Amino acid sequence: MRIATVGDNCMDVYQTSGKAYPGGNPVNVAVYLTELGADSSYIGWVGSDSYGELMQKDISKKGVDISHLSKKDGKTAVTYVELVNNDRCFGEYDEGVMADFTLTPAELDFIQKHQLVHAGVWGHVERYYSLFKKRGLQTSFDFSNQLDHILVKTLPQYVDYSFFSYTQDDSFIRQFLKDVKNNGSRITIATLGENGSLAYDGEQFYKCGVVAVDVVDTMGAGDSFISGFIYGKLKGLPTAKCLDLGAETAAKTIQYFGAW
């Protein structure tokens, strides 16, 4: 099983402690997939600063293929984080070198050697999704909590698994997932924080709760859920089982500081 994750990375800097942890949706998803047993590659840009060096070293240490992670002159992206009752709250975000991210023909050829490609709403990768589908790749995309984003209307036709972040199972999110499915996605999924998750495949809704654990830091919970779900799908598991695997993977992540 080979999965490529593409786009944004950032150092999550906790303002109270000053500690910095590597993160960013595609990076986190690649790391969690490797822990689940998949072969994952991360394609992105880091800066020429100490954070860039740390990012490269730590991702590589986790067993992710970083042969197509590039260093560019400038700053690595940084997100400032505060913990409020063990729930991570994002502050200022400095995109650094990732603001100008593009893919080369060689990188696109490398991505094509994988079964599935994953990216997120902040990664500047959406322009390549029609090409990914044309080349026969399975695709997933994390829209995060950006339910009003223009990409919600335009991108799902090229996305097999569309992920969203919301708060509860209600009539709004059910209709929303139906609409995104009708825009072309194979399956639409919403993580609902402490209220579990919900998926829609065009025929029925699937609901899953959370695994009860002591929460230390919710950083990376959604990304680890995505990893579990994708891994399950590539293993051929039914959607309900993929939600279960997503919940189990997320439960491990929230028991320690930082995404991983």
> Stretch 110-115: mean pLDDT, rounded?
98
Helix or strand or coil: residue 75? coil
- Tell me which residue range forms the domain holding 124: 2-253
82 pLDDT above the threshold of 90: no
146 pLDDT above the threshold of 90: yes
> Stretch 117-138: mean pLDDT, rounded?
97
**Residue 259: inside a domain, yes or no?**
no
Q: Based on the structure, what is the number of domains in the chain?
A: 1
Q: Which of 23-32, 44-53, 198-207, 245-254 has the lowest average pLDDT? A: 245-254
**Residue 69: inside a domain, yes or no?**
yes
In which element (H, E) is residue 23 found?
A: strand 20-23
**Residue 208: inside a domain, yes or no?**
yes
Q: What proportion of the chain, given as a percentage, has pLDDT over 90?
A: 78
**Looking at residue 212, what is its pLDDT?**
61
**Residue 224: inside a domain, yes or no?**
yes
Q: What is the pLDDT of residues 168-225, one digit of tens each?
A: 999 999 999 999 999 999 999 999 988 999 999 999 999 998 766 555 444 557 899 9
108 pLDDT above the threshold of 60: yes
**Looking at residue 83, what is its pLDDT?**
64
CATH for 146: 3.40.1190.20
**Residue 258: inside a domain, yes or no?**
no
C-alpha to C-alpha distance for 232 and 237, rounded to whole angstroms? 5
In which element (H, E) is residue 42 found?
A: strand 39-46
What are 89's two structure tokens? 């709250």
Q: Which of 32-36, 114-118, 131-135, 252-256 has the lowest average pLDDT? A: 252-256
**Residue 234: inside a domain, yes or no?**
yes
- Which residues, listed in sequence order, are joined to residue 87 by a DSSP beta bridge? 84
161 pLDDT above the threshold of 70: yes
**Residue 260: inside a domain, yes or no?**
no
| 208 φ/ψ angles, rounded to the nearest 5 degrees | -140, 140
Residue 201: CA count within 13 A, CB half-sphere: 10
**Residue 240: inside a domain, yes or no?**
yes
Could you give the angle at the alpha carbon of 91 between the alpha carbons of 129 and 189, nearest 5°? 40
pLDDT band at 240 (very low <50, low <70, confident <90, very high): very high
